[in-house]
């Protein structure tokens, strides 16, 4: 009896040491490539004794496709954009964070708590956010850029020199803002008008390109083009004379979020990582690296002065509202798909 | 006579076209090389000479990922190319030296199937299939998928070559009491070599550059060079990718030079 | 025998007839498992109902094929008329791929021939020279090519400097740029098979033709080409077929203003549409089309061998 007890005690102690020596657990992230500095991941891994692995996708839709095709259950956290959080939620792919499970939930900037795609933040936390509108190359165009008419009803000198992002959601949302109609409208006349607007605007567009949106503006191949604020800032810092626009009709706000996936294999570690991302210092480090904006209280004071004052992150009061791209219902989405196909056929 | 013999091969303008062709192929690479030394983060605005991107590639924070991705890409490409070439050679021999048989047309269709099906379709379907049979995603899934779609690319040059080889040599060998294996190994295969090598090279570069299928069937933590590069591009194109590409170019040129000298010494033997 | 020698060799024989099954088994297994089954799955999917945002619902439906062939208006409830949209997209991709194949042939054939007629030691080197660029990722090379071809890019600067043109030649974002992009993506696939075939060619045939007072070009057309036909056909297939489904280089260089088959299908799986059955249906239609083309070419290549 005594021998067995000692043996089990030894075994237990040994196993405890073994566990402490090896990783206390794992964490599996599904993320964009180069969207988080490796040092942060390494620091988190060391501080918590957790082994972090990361798989990458190159678009929200690709992520959804792989999750649907069978990879759900192999990742703990993913980093979808705003409308994709709603879609994942509707698909039942998100896990709920119960009250109290997230220690740092109070750090979330109040304006980002009740976001339309996750009211009350039951499954997600802010990661980085920014805006999407358009920029112009000031060497080529000196006119007023405070309206989305630059893209949809351009002055003659810009015709044939406009690049659009190759993204259905963003193009259609900006068009809806331009027309002043609601997103996901079910009104037939409005939808027909939307279709007509895009058809007529297309003649002035030279290309649909997301990957080289920054390069075409910097080189002047495009005099005007849709672009994310972060990319525009990068282009400006590379020497391009480009100015980001804050149209009076409004512009698109986007936010990437960390979400807890359903059937997460390491749920507890996932929550730890979310808490990690909600520490002002950590998220500021990420923001200084990625050069967008954080959604966490207190992060601002740790940002570099340059980033805080960059014009692309500071919307003037004269600008219109920043709206998220909405995920529409099935019927409206079908019409949107038809409109997009009409545009690209 | 020797003079006439060489002359018969020359066609006016063919050399010019070849040079032109090479120019088109290499011109973008010059851009890549030049901008890998760019001081700024731009790939379009030149702002001075700097080696910082090469430093970044070797010791920068993301360098480990790119190194691993490169290693994965190359190991997968070589393995897949070898496997695909062997399978393709075997298949070509069966198709072209196996006489007529009922399933011949279907076999041909099957061999070329990966060519015809759009990559995204193969990618999604393969992922679903792998999940259904519980094949855990990782290095092996990528390798297997690559071998499969490299086969037609290896097959085509080999088959084309084989069609130009009369079977008289093999028949002669068999008449001289060689076994089938010997006839293949010592007679057909050497004659087939340029086709086999061409097939291997095609399979290699197809595997090296594959993005879509790899993206879908890779497992967590595995990157190949294309997935790493595509992913990096989404965050804004930076010259570090140019630096990596230039280095790859350097490696390949070294290998070619080596093989040239090896070939030369071989010839002398 | 003489007939066989004239055409450069026999197309098919039965030297290894007994081992045939063993020889073909590996390819049947690998392809059967990892390509055929997924493709059959997709065929199945094309007859199912689409699930919102991707995936399928296991309910039989012809709506995917219906969407391809019939136009029911913006809201899907008008009287059906023929849907030309997708047929046009297919047609556009076919002729772009065809043009790219011809371009590849025009440039690739002389290149392959030239390489095959180099002294033996340097042949490998030339082959590598042609394929080294492909070690660098296609996306990078295509982006670089994009900036070479710009209106204010180095190419136009050069052309204007030598006085070839007065104002910049507008190449980027045109159809020609798309074909250039396809040519650029698949050139080695044209060159290598032709090279392998020409390398085998017996030049004494050309000499015989010359003795019979044939001009060089006649010899090319009537003696060389028939002999290396399998290589040429292989090259054309390896360029044409992948070009049909390609969209990366075409989109980057052509401006992405119009769907190619590849981008259309990609959009179904990776875009907002999330319409997998439709993507599967379009793929099946593409597959059938290409099968037909392949069968025609297989027949042609067989005829050539026996003739």
The pLDDT tens digits for C57-79 are 899 999 899 889 988 888 878 88
The pLDDT value recorded for residue A20 is 42
Please state, rounded to an integer, the average pLDDT across all residues of chain A: 88
Instruction: Determine phi and psi for A33, rounding to 5 degrees.
Output: -70, 140
* Residues in CB range of B173: below 8 A, 6 or more apart: B182, B183, B186, B187
The 10s digit of each residue's pLDDT in A31-77 is 988 889 888 999 999 999 999 988 888 889 889 988 888 888 889 99
Decide if A87 touches C, using CB distance below 8 A.
Answer: yes
CATH number for the domain that contains residue C271: 1.10.3720.10
Tell me whether residue C8 is in a domain: no
pLDDT band per the 50, 70, 90 thresholds, residue A275:
very high
State in Å, rounded, how far the first CA of chain A is from the last one: 81
Give chain C positions within 8 Å (CB) of B180.
15-16, 18-19
pLDDT band per the 50, 70, 90 thresholds, residue B267:
low
Between positions 278 and 337 of A, the ones with CB within 8 A of B are 290
Mean pLDDT of B64-73: 87
Tell me whether residue C21 is in a domain: no
The pLDDT value recorded for residue C294 is 79
Give chain B positions within 8 Å (CB) of A62.
215-216
The pLDDT value recorded for residue C9 is 40
Is there a contact between B202 and C192 if contact means CB atoms under 8 Å apart?
A: yes
Q: Which subunits count as partners of chain B given 3+ CB pairs below 8 Å? A: A, C
The pLDDT value recorded for residue C6 is 33
Is there a contact between C150 and A219 if contact means CB atoms under 8 Å apart?
A: yes
Is there a contact between C147 and A209 if contact means CB atoms under 8 Å apart?
A: no
Closest-CA residue of A relative to B41 is A238
Among the partner-chain residues A87, A195, A344, the one whose CB lies closest to the CB of C258 is A344
The pLDDT value recorded for residue B3 is 47
Q: Which residue has the tokens 């030691």?
A: C121
Query: pLDDT higher for A194 or C211?
Result: A194
Instruction: State the count of interchain CB pairs (< 8 A) between A and B.
Output: 100
Chain C closest CA to A317's CA: distance in Å? 33
CB-based contact A233:A244 (threshold 8 Å): yes
Query: pLDDT higher for A46 or B47?
Result: A46
The pLDDT value recorded for residue C5 is 33
Token digits for C88?
């046009």
Given a cut of 90, whether residue B12 has pLDDT beyond it is no
Tell me whether residue C96 is in a domain: yes
Chain C closest CA to A120's CA: distance in Å? 24
The 10s digit of each residue's pLDDT in C203-253 is 888 888 888 888 878 888 888 888 888 899 989 999 998 898 888 888 888
Is there a contact between C23 and B198 if contact means CB atoms under 8 Å apart?
A: no
Counted domains in chain C: 1
Domain that holds residue C273: 42-305
Decide if A240 touches B, using CB distance below 8 A.
Answer: yes
Instruction: Mutate one of A209, A222, A332, A336 to test the C interface: name it (highest C CB count within 10 A).
Output: A209
pLDDT band per the 50, 70, 90 thresholds, residue B266:
low
The pLDDT value recorded for residue C11 is 54
The pLDDT value recorded for residue B232 is 83
Single out the residue of A43, A47, A71, A39 nearest to residue A57, CA to CA. A71
Tell me whether residue C252 is in a domain: yes
Q: Which of A128-142, B103-117, B139-153 has the lowest mean pLDDT?
A: B103-117
The pLDDT value recorded for residue C252 is 87
Query: Quick one: DSSP state of residue C116?
Result: H
Is there a contact between C291 and B109 if contact means CB atoms under 8 Å apart?
A: yes
Give chain B positions within 8 Å (CB) of A53.
220-221
The pLDDT value recorded for residue A7 is 52
Mean pLDDT of B35-47: 78
CB-based contact B208:B220 (threshold 8 Å): no
Query: Quick one: DSSP state of residue C48?
Result: E
The 10s digit of each residue's pLDDT in A78-119 is 999 999 999 999 999 999 999 889 999 999 999 999 999 999
Tell me whether residue C2 is in a domain: no
pLDDT band per the 50, 70, 90 thresholds, residue A10:
low
Is there a contact between A62 and C270 if contact means CB atoms under 8 Å apart?
A: yes
CB-based contact A207:A164 (threshold 8 Å): yes
Tell me whether residue C36 is in a domain: no
Of the ranges A279-283, B115-119, C251-255, the best mean pLDDT one: A279-283
Given a cut of 60, whether residue A147 has pLDDT beyond it is yes
Chain B closest CA to C240's CA: distance in Å? 10
Give chain A positions within 8 Å (CB) of B237.
211-212, 214-215
Decide if C173 touches A, using CB distance below 8 A.
Answer: yes
Tell me whether residue C163 is in a domain: yes
Give chain B positions within 8 Å (CB) of A230.
236
The 10s digit of each residue's pLDDT in B183-202 is 788 888 888 888 898 899 88
Closest-CA residue of C relative to B161 is C197
Given a cut of 90, whether residue B220 has pLDDT beyond it is no
The pLDDT value recorded for residue C2 is 32
Instruction: Mutate one of C28, C35, C127 to test the B interface: name it (highest B CB count within 10 A).
Output: C35
Decide if A96 touches B, using CB distance below 8 A.
Answer: no
What does each C-alpha distance from B31 to A271, B226, B250, C241 come to in angstroms? Answer: 46, 19, 15, 29
Token digits for A144?
């007023």
Single out the residue of A19, A51, A56, A33 nearest to residue A269, CA to CA. A51
Could you give the CA distance from residue C50 to residue C71 in angstroms, rounded to a whole number? 18
What does each C-alpha distance from A252 to A209, A325, B46 come to in angstroms? Answer: 18, 7, 32
Given a cut of 50, whether residue B219 has pLDDT beyond it is yes
Tell me whether residue C20 is in a domain: no
Q: Which of A15-19, A124-128, A284-288, B104-108 has the lowest mean pLDDT?
A: A15-19
Could you give the CA distance from residue A273 to residue A285 in angstroms, rounded to a whole number? 15
Between positions 170 and 189 of C, the ones with CB within 8 A of B are 184, 187-189
């Amino acid at each position: 009896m005594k021998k067995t007890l000692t043996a089990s005690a030894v075994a237990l102690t040994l196993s405890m040491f073994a566990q402490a020596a090896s990783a206390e657990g794992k964490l599996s992230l599904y993320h964009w490539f180069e969207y988080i500095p490796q040092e942060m991941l390494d620091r988190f891994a060391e501080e918590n004794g957790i082994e972090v692995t990361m798989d990458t996708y190159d678009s929200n839709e690709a992520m959804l496709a792989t999750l649907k095709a069978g990879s759900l259950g192999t990742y703990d956290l993913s980093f979808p954009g705003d409308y994709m959080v709603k879609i994942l939620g509707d698909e039942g792919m998100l896990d709920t964070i119960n009250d109290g499970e997230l220690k740092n939930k109070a750090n979330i900037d109040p304006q980002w708590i009740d976001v339309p795609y996750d009211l009350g933040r039951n499954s997600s936390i802010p990661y980085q956010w920014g805006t999407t509108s358009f920029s112009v190359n000031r060497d080529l165009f000196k006119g007023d850029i405070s309206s989305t008419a630059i893209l949809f009803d351009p002055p003659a000198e810009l015709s044939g020199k406009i690049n659009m992002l190759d993204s259905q959601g963003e193009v259609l949302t900006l068009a809806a803002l331009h027309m002043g109609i609601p997103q996901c409208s079910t009104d037939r006349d409005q939808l027909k008008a939307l279709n007509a607007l895009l058809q007529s605007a297309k003649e002035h567009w030279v290309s649909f390109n997301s990957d080289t949106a920054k390069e075409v503006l910097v080189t002047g191949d495009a005099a005007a083009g849709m672009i994310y604020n972060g990319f525009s800032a990068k282009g400006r810092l590379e020497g391009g004379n480009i100015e980001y626009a804050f149209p009076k009709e409004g512009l698109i706000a986007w936010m990437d979020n960390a979400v807890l996936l359903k059937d997460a294999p390491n749920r507890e570690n996932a929550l730890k990582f979310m808490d990690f991302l909600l520490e002002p210092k950590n998220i500021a480090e990420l923001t200084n690296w990625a050069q967008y904006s954080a959604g966490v209280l207190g992060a601002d004071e740790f940002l570099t002065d340059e980033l805080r004052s960059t014009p692309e992150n500071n919307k003037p009061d004269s600008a219109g509202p920043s709206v998220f791209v909405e995920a529409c219902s099935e019927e409206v989405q079908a019409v949107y798909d038809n409109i997009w196909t009409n545009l690209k056929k | 006579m020797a003079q006439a013999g060489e002359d018969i091969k020359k066609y006016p303008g063919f050399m010019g076209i070849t040079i032109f062709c090479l120019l088109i192929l290499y011109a973008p690479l010059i851009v890549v090389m030049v901008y890998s030394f760019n001081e700024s983060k731009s790939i379009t605005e030149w702002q001075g000479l700097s080696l910082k991107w090469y430093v970044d590639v070797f010791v920068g924070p993301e360098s480990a990922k790119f190194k691993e991705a490169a290693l994965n890409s190359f190991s997968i490409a070589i393995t897949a190319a070898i496997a695909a070439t062997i399978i393709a050679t075997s298949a070509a021999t069966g198709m072209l030296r196996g006489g007529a048989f009922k399933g011949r047309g279907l076999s041909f269709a099957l061999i070329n199937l990966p060519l015809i099906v759009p990559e995204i379709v193969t990618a999604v379907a393969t992922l679903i299939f792998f999940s259904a049979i519980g094949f855990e995603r990782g290095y092996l899934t990528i390798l297997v998928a690559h071998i499969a779609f490299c086969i037609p690319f290896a097959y085509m040059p080999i088959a084309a070559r084989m069609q130009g080889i009369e079977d008289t040599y093999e028949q002669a060998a068999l008449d001289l009491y060689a076994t089938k294996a010997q006839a293949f190994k010592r007679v057909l295969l050497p004659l087939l070599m340029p086709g086999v090598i061409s097939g291997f090279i095609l399979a290699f570069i197809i595997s090296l550059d594959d993005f879509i299928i790899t993206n879908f069937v890779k497992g967590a933590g595995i990157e190949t060079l294309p997935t790493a590069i595509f992913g990096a591009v989404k965050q804004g194109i930076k010259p570090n990718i140019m630096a990596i590409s230039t280095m790859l170019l350097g490696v390949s040129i070294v290998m070619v030079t080596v093989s040239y000298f090896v070939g030369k010494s071989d010839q002398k033997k | 025998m003489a007939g066989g020698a004239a055409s450069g060799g026999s197309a098919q024989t039965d030297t290894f007839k007994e081992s045939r099954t063993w020889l073909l088994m590996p390819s049947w297994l690998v392809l059967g498992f990892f390509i055929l089954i997924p493709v059959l799955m997709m065929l199945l999917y094309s007859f199912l109902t689409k699930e919102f945002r991707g995936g399928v619902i296991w309910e039989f439906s012809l709506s995917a094929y219906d969407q391809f062939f019939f136009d029911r208006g913006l809201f899907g409830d008008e009287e059906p008329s023929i849907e030309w949209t997708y047929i046009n997209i297919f047609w556009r991709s076919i002729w772009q791929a065809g043009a790219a194949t011809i371009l590849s042939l025009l440039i690739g054939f002389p290149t392959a021939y030239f390489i095959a007629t180099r002294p033996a030691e340097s042949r490998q080197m030339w082959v590598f020279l042609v394929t080294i660029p492909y070690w660098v990722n296609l996306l990078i090379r295509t982006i670089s090519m994009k900036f070479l071809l710009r209106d204010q890019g180095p190419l136009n600067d050069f052309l204007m400097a030598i006085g070839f043109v007065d104002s910049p030649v507008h190449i980027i974002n045109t159809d020609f740029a798309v074909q250039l992009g396809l040519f650029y993506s698949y050139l080695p696939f044209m060159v290598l098979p032709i090279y392998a075939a020409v390398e085998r060619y017996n030049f004494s045939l050309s000499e015989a033709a010359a003795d019979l007072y044939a001009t060089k070009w006649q010899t090319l057309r009537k003696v060389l080409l028939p002999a290396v036909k399998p290589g040429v056909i292989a090259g054309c297939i390896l360029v044409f077929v992948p070009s049909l489904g390609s969209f990366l280089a075409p989109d980057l260089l052509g401006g992405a203003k119009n769907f190619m088959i590849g981008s259309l299908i990609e959009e179904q799986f990776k875009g907002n549409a999330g319409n997998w059955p439709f993507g599967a249906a379009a793929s099946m239609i593409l597959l059938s089309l290409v099968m037909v083309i392949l069968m025609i070419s297989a027949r042609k290549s067989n005829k050539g061998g026996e003739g």
